[in-house]
Structure 1
Amino acid sequence: MRAWALLSDRRWIALLALALHPWPGHAAEPQFLPEVAPLSEFPDAGSATRREGVFLPPQAPRLLTPGMTKRQVYALLGVPHFHEGLLGARRWNYILDFYTGQGTEYRICRLQLRWDRRMRLERIAWSDASCRDMVYPPAQPQAAAGPLPPPVPAVRPRSLTVHFDFDKAALSEEAQRDLAAFMTEAGPDGGMLSVTGFTDSAGPDAYNDRLSLMRADNVARHLVAMGVPLSKLQISGAGERSPARSSDGPAKEPLNRRVLLEWTAGAG
């Protein structure tokens, strides 16, 4: 009795190892393929001692190999689920439950083991092919390698808009990061880079013209510091003309306080 209790402890240790440890690649390829037997060869499920079956990872029955002893099988699968006895019985039958991978859905499978006169495992049979395939997945055909598709050319950004605080011409940290990313993706370029400043409609026209040009100048200075030749820049201020968003009367519209960068003719 103590010997079987010790085997039971070892079985749970083995199953815990199955659940927690990945399987090496060579263990994934069985040396044989168990057969599929007609359901008439299996005992009536109503006479099972464990009619609900047991949940096991597919790797557990995958370790079954002809020539194993009953104790070795017991360590993997436990006691058989029908009144077949542990000593002298030539057949062991199990009801195994395997999760399908679709949520909590599972499939009930029947497994039969047969022993030779020396009580060594000689035959392994499943109730149907789909159950066997869950434990021994069929090899997938290798697709013929074809030519690699041509690389998709990267799309260069053609323009960038950076925004400013009200009545300010200094670049924010975010604007500086946007400028650096834009030049990394779009430049250097063979064409000219137009740098145009704008303001909202609050304040006199003359003041807004000067503020828009200050904003464009500050962006241009930042680009030159990044290595862009000054000769490649077209710098201008448009004041409150050509707003990004129209507004009625004096308005502090944030989207209009901006500098627009655009590659012009010759950019490729």
Structure 2
Amino acid sequence: MTLRARKTATAGRRFPARGSGLHLLAAALLLAGCAPGRPIDPLAQARAMAAQPAAPAAEEFPAIEMARWKEGVFPNLENLRLVSRGMGKDQIRHLLGWPHFDEGLWGARDWNYIFHLRTGKATEFITCQYMVRFDDSMLSTGAFWKGSECADLLRPAAKVAMTEAPTKPVVVVQPLPSPAPTPLPPKKISLGTDGLFRFGGGALSDLQPQGRQKVEQLAQEIRRNFRTIQSISITGHTDRLGSTAYNDALSIRRANTVRDLLVNAGIDEALLRASGAGKSQPVVDCPGTKKTPSLVACLQPNRRVEVEVRGAA
């Protein structure tokens, strides 16, 4: 094509000004509410996990008619049970989706949702509002329901109570008296964190593929061996690599994740207590101070989560 022909072919066509492509991309990201992800600071996460904010009053929840998505959704109940303090907004969005109200996404301290939960009676369901609150680091400090009815439905044990009433008379047979429970010595189980989490990680998103299965098997073992449970203590431990503050935060993060997985597997949350010991209670000592593959391997027994169960058979 000659120079004259090329000029003729492009006549009348308008091209974007230099740099306008970047402006359009930025505008699209703003409209979509997308912000580039960033790693979570372990110390900030530890502070968020330790926070105990007051539950919002009913009037702090926005009116449903103000929602962008007024229809609400039927949420994944297992995802709802995994929501915990210390999660970032990307993790909350992965479990619950985007919030349903126009409250902003970048610096919003509250995300609000409209959820429908089935009662177990045919197709009946109730509609509730759900709020996730964030701190200055945009990490969750708590999740709250407007009213207690939906919170009760979310508990695993609530499913049994929400069944249809029998249509025929039921003959009740009185069971024979059960023998008194036999107290058992405290049982301590040690879970190597190298088989649970990626190295240096402790959040739910850091679980290795077999990590969730190991904790579920532990919950089954506890229920099988203990007829009654008095308490379950979960203590996270780390090796000596890294600062004391870093290891303290990492150990409590790992203990909290194991606690949440046990609750999700059906263990009563009221029986569980999670804490972190950091690097203060090693079980092996290894020479060297430089982080080498051989030193990391030698210190592996120190990276663990200990679960101590007290109860009776």
Q: Normalization by structure 2: what TM-score?
A: 0.34
The structure that has the greater radius of gyration is 1
Q: Normalization by structure 1: what TM-score?
A: 0.39
